[in-house]
């Protein structure tokens, strides 16, 4: 196997693991009552779209220039964003678990879908129609007693294999793959209608938001006002989709995910401070 092929396979494997981490860590176990569609296709200039509430009107986040990727990751030139699925699929074919993971992967426009997912993690709900992965099998496990509901601790076990996968891949390796493909992530972010903004800055902003997720002691009370369960505590229910997902994972899994995110954040910022 030549060196370029080997690098492509390693990069593809890390990308898939990173995508899996984002999806399984942060995707809701039960769909919101009113899913919001975010346009994955590049929007027309006069009608930008992509995030749940459209392009944010908030002030620019702190700017974190991306560090240079590792030299080995620069061996192959990047494909155009619109043609990136094929080269990524070819690289992923060499991954040991490619067959099982490919069944869960929405293979079209993966980078665009990842950008939309990340951008929506701080919002009330995720864009169900533009997710990077198909829905996780199974249902939310709820404990019912005397007419009250609480989150069953058994839910935490569902996440253990995924947390283990993220730790095995390593946050630094995942970050190097992200930095390798960063120009395409940044391009996809601009397509959402975010002139003058950079995806790495938004990613760091989202990571910091997730790191601020509170640790909630079990049992976590639930209510079922209609079809889907919600947190009984209005303050918890008002939190973002990403933070609520971390709360559902349980304190042990949450701590490991936060440690992974802290390492990943350090790698994609070069451990530096924001610049003006």
Q: What is the DSSP string of 1-13?
A: --HHHHHHHHHHH
**Residue 157: which pLDDT band, with cuts at 50, 70 and 90?**
confident
Residue 274 lies in a domain: no
Residue 63 has pLDDT above 70, yes or no: yes
Quote the CA–CA distance of 75 and 71 in Å, as a whole number.
Answer: 7
Range of the domain at 209: 3-269
Phi and psi at residue 275, to the nearest 5°? -115, 160
Residue 275 lies in a domain: no
Identify which of 86-95, 127-136, 199-208 has the greatest average pLDDT: 199-208
Phi and psi at residue 150, to the nearest 5°? -150, 160
Residue 224 lies in a domain: yes
Residue 18 lies in a domain: yes
Residue 100 lies in a domain: yes
The per-residue pLDDT for range 172-227, each reduced to its tens digit, is 877 877 888 899 999 999 999 988 899 999 999 999 999 999 999 888 999 999 88
Residue 50 lies in a domain: yes
- Cβ neighbours for 229, distance < 8 A, ≥ 6 positions apart: 30, 140, 142, 149, 222, 223
40-78 CB burial, b ≥16 within 10 A, e <16: bebbeeeebbbbbeebbeeeebeebebbebeeebeeeee
Tracing tokens 């730790």 back to the chain, one arrives at: 167
DSSP, collapsed to helix, strand or coil, labels residue 241 as helix
What domain count does the chain have? 1
Tracing tokens 């533009």 back to the chain, one arrives at: 130
Quote the CA–CA distance of 203 and 197 in Å, as a whole number.
Answer: 11
Residue 52 lies in a domain: yes
DSSP state of 244: H
Quote the CA–CA distance of 102 and 149 in Å, as a whole number.
Answer: 36
Residue 192 lies in a domain: yes
């Amino acid at each position: 196997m030549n060196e370029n092929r080997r690098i492509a396979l390693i990069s593809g494997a890390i990308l898939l693991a990173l995508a899996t981490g984002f999806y399984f860590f942060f995707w809701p176990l039960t769909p919101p009552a009113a899913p919001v569609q975010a346009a994955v296709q590049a929007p027309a200039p006069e009608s930008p779209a992509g995030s749940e509430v459209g392009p944010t009107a908030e002030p620019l986040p702190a700017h974190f220039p991306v560090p240079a990727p590792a030299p080995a990751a620069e061996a192959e030139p990047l494909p155009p964003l619109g043609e990136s699925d094929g080269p990524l699929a070819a690289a992923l074919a060499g991954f040991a678990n490619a067959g099982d993971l490919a069944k869960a992967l929405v293979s079209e426009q993966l980078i665009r879908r990842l950008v939309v997912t990340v951008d929506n993690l701080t919002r009330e709900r995720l864009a169900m129609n533009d997710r990077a992965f198909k829905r996780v099998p199974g249902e939310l496990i709820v404990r019912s007693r005397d007419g009250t509901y609480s989150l069953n601790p058994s839910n935490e076990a569902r996440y253990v294999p995924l947390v283990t996968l993220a730790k095995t891949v390593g946050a630094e390796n995942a970050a190097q793959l992200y930095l390798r493909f960063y120009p395409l992530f940044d391009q996809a972010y601009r397509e959402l209608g975010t002139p003058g903004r950079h995806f790495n800055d938004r990613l760091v902003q989202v990571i910091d938001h997730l790191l601020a997720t509170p640790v909630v002691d079990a049992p976590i009370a639930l209510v079922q006002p209609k079809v889907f369960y919600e947190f009984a505590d209005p303050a918890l229910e008002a939190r973002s989709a990403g933070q609520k997902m971390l709360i559902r994972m349980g304190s042990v899994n949450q701590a490991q995910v936060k440690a992974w995110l802290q390492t990943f954040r350090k790698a994609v910022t070069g451990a530096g401070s924001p610049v003006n």
